[in-house]
């Protein structure tokens, strides 16, 4: 019934003015509009109902686009003022059009995909304390990650350090907010590693957290498989491997087919044909207890992606050090890529 009302609104909307046409475009055709919101709800419906409703929504979108195109073609075009005529003898501008950093492009695309399924953004400080970075995340007191060899400590005695993962944001959110929680935490993290073509002392992560009643591993897998198919394409091969993280139980890592060698084997995938893109798992009950959330009532899952690793695969970049060297020859090669990742 609501789709019939929506179709009537599309057919009867006034498109006589530029302001009305802009409002019409934003309401029915732009991302985040009412039609886009209905389309994003299809994944929760049974298969047959999803097909029927999807066909109706796609038809409404075509009708809206046709009405807008017709209205714009029929509207009078403004006559250029003689005061703005072009002087062909005037020197042209030599200012080059800029571009965005490839890490920013990929991070924004990751965020867009998860926002479609209900995630909201959360942020936290890069200078952290031991509680939020280790203890609340179920790291044992003698865990190797706490060593000076793995972590940049600012004040070892007070436990002040540069965060080693954006999981710290998850703890801060759970401390001040009760379930349901569904957040995405992008940001820069720091680890004491040798700088090479495959690793750096700082990199970027996008971590997700969902806590609610009845959350299961099936929810985790369905959401991550959705992300992989949307981001990398329907034909990409993926696999799940059992793993271990202190803050999740069960834990897993997800690999995809190497986009550089297409599974044949290369230095990036260590000749295996597979590249790990994320780690994930069900939130350990001890983590929920540390944040005063009842693990007998609530459950949840968490995941984390390395932005550099994904960007390396998408753009086939052999050396991670290029991301932080500010070499204009490298950065200028990404002009115009913004539209390809949307």
Pick one of 3.40.50.300, 3.90.1010.10, 3.30.930.10, 1.10.2020.10 as the CATH number of 102-341.
3.30.930.10
Give the model's pLDDT for residue 196.
Answer: 79
DSSP helix/strand/coil, 16: coil
Which residue in 209, 237, 229 sits closest to 303, CA to CA?
209
| Structure tokens that stand for 64 in this block | 């809206």
**H or E element at residue 274:** strand 274-283
User: Over the stretch 235-272, which tens digit does the pLDDT of each residue have?
Assistant: 999 999 999 999 999 999 999 998 888 878 887 788 88
Q: Could you tell me the residue ranges of all domains in the chain?
A: 2-74, 102-341
At residue 129, φ and ψ (nearest 5 deg) are -115, 170
- The count of residues in the chain is 342
Cα-to-chain-centroid distance, residue 259: 19
pLDDT of residue 96: 66
Distance, in Å, from the CA atom of 161 to the CA atom of 249, rounded to the nearest integer, reads 26
Query: What are the angstrom distances between the C-alpha of 154 and each of 69, 118, 161, 175?
Result: 59, 36, 5, 24
Q: What pLDDT does residue 237 have? A: 92
pLDDT of residue 103: 93
pTM of the entire structure? 0.69
The strand order across the sheet containing 153-155 reads 127-129, 160-162, 153-155
Tokens of 213: 């009643």
3-state helix, strand, coil in the chain (%, to 5): 40, 20, 40
* Spans of the chain below 50 pLDDT: none
Cα(301)–Cα(248) distance, integer angstroms: 8
């Amino acid at each position: 019934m609501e789709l019939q009302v929506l179709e009537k609104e599309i057919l009867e909307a006034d498109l006589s003015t530029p302001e009305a046409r802009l409002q019409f475009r934003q309401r029915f055709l732009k991302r985040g509009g009412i039609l886009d919101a209905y389309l994003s709800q299809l994944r929760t419906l049974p298969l047959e109902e999803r097909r029927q409703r999807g066909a109706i929504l796609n038809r409404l979108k075509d009708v809206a686009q046709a009405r807008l195109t017709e209205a714009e073609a029929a509207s009078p075009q403004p006559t250029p003022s003689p005061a703005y005529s072009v002087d062909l003898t005037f020197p042209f501008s030599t200012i080059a059009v800029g571009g965005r950093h490839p890490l920013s492009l990929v991070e924004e695309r990751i965020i867009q995909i998860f926002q479609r399924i209900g995630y909201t953004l959360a942020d936290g400080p890069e200078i952290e304390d031991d509680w939020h970075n280790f203890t609340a995340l179920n790291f044992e007191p003698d865990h190797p990650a706490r060593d000076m060899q793995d972590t940049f400590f600012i004040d070892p005695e007070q436990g002040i350090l540069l965060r080693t993962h954006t999981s710290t944001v998850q703890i801060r959110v759970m401390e001040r907010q009760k379930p349901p929680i569904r957040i995405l935490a992008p940001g820069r993290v720091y680890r004491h590693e040798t700088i090479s073509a495959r690793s750096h002392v700082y990199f970027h992560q996008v971590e997700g957290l969902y806590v609610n009643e009845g959350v299961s591993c099936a929810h985790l897998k369905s959401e991550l498989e959705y992300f992989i198919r949307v981001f990398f394409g329907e034909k990409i091969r993926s696999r799940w491997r059992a793993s271990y993280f202190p803050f999740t139980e069960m834990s897993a890592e997800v690999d995809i087919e190497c986009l550089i060698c297409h599974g044949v084997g290369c230095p990036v995938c260590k000749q295996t044909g597979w590249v790990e893109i994320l780690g994930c798992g069900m939130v350990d009950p001890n983590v929920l207890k540390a944040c005063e959330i009842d693990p007998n009532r609530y459950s949840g899952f968490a995941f984390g992606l390395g932005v550099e690793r994904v960007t390396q695969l998408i753009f086939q970049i052999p050396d991670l050090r290029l991301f932080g060297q500010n070499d204009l020859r490298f950065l200028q090669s990404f002009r115009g890529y913004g539209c390809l990742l949307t």
